[in-house]
């Protein structure tokens, strides 16, 4: 192939190569985005081994359903991130996940209970970088619930005991703050 396969490619180049099933592009995609995707997956699924399984499944799905990606509907990363988040949530709700929690030694019964409890999330221990210093904690809490914990905004509203409109507004304000900080 040609020398244009840099470690980073522009999105149209990536999409074109991906849809032509060029194995080299998968390597490029992986080196560009695996950590960012794993950042979300590993916060939804705290179990390392399962999280890494999901990461692998995510890339398998990206590879296999590349033809379904439509760049008029959004950026490649958004599409990949949604695959990663959906697979993570599916895993969280699957038998697989529950079995893995059950496959604990009998001595770890106490922690098993803890793990069970962990299925209900605590946004305060997400470990997400406080990027925007003046991003109010309540804004970031909502955003992280949805982005890093796989909550729907409806679930987040229930969790935080807030009206649905407030959750939506806070998500929007949080993202506006992000946009401002990245500019």
Q: Using CB under 8 A as the criterion, which residues of the chain lie in contact with another protein when the complex forms?
A: 1-3, 5-7, 22-28, 30-31, 34-40, 42-43, 51-52, 55-56, 59-60, 63, 72-75, 77-78, 81-82, 85-86, 128-129, 131, 146-148, 152-153, 168-169, 171-172, 175, 178-179, 182
Return the DSSP state at 126.
-
Closer residue to another protein, CB minimum distance, 64 or 116: 64
CB of 178 vs another protein, minimal distance in Å: 4
Reference 159, options 124, 113, 115, 111; nearest CA is 124
CA atoms within 13 A of residue 136's CA, in its CB half-sphere: 9
Q: What is the nearest approach in angstroms of another protein to the Cβ of residue 143?
A: 8
Element containing residue 119 per DSSP (H, E): none
Shortest distance, position 103 Cβ to another protein, whole Å: 20
Minimum distance, C-beta of residue 113 to another protein, in the bound complex (Å): 26
If the CB atoms of residues 31 and 109 are measured against another protein, the closer one turns out to be: 31
65-73 long-range contacts (CB < 8 A, ≥24 apart) are: 66/18, 66/19, 66/21, 67/19, 69/15, 69/18, 69/19, 71/11, 71/12, 71/15
- Residue at token pair 């979300």: 40
Residue 47 or 153: the one with the smaller Cβ distance to another protein is 153
Render the burial of 16-33: b for 16+ CB within 10 Å, e for the rest. Answer: ebbeeeeeebbebbeeeb
Distance, CA of 8 to CA of 125 (rounded, Å): 32
Of 8 and 106, the one with the shorter C-beta distance to another protein is: 8
The nearer residue to another protein, 21 or 102, going by C-beta atoms, is 21
CB 139 within 8 A of CB 173: yes
- Residue 59 vs 121, nearer CB to another protein: 59
How far apart are CB 96 and another protein at their closest, in Å? 17
Q: To the nearest whole angstrom, how small is the minimum distance from the Cβ of residue 127 to another protein?
A: 9
């Amino acid at each position: 192939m040609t020398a244009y396969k840099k470690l980073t490619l522009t999105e149209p180049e990536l999409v074109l190569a991906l849809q032509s099933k060029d194995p080299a592009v998968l390597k490029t995609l992986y080196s560009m985005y695996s950590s960012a995707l794993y950042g979300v997956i590993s916060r939804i699924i705290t179990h390392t081994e399962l999280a890494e399984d999901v990461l692998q499944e995510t890339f398998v799905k990206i590879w296999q359903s590349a033809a379904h990606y439509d760049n008029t509907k959004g950026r490649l990363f958004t599409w990949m991130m949604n695959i990663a988040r959906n697979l993570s949530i599916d895993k969280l709700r699957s038998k697989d996940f529950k079995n893995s929690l059950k496959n604990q030694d009998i001595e770890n019964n106490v922690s098993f209970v803890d793990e069970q409890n962990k299925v209900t999330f605590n946004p305060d221990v997400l470990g997400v970088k406080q990027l925007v210093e003046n991003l109010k904690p309540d804004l970031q809490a909502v955003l992280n619930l949805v982005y890093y914990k796989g909550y729907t905004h409806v679930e987040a509203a229930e969790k935080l005991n807030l009206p649905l409109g407030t959750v939506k507004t806070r998500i929007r304000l949080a993202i506006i703050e992000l946009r401002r900080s990245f500019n």
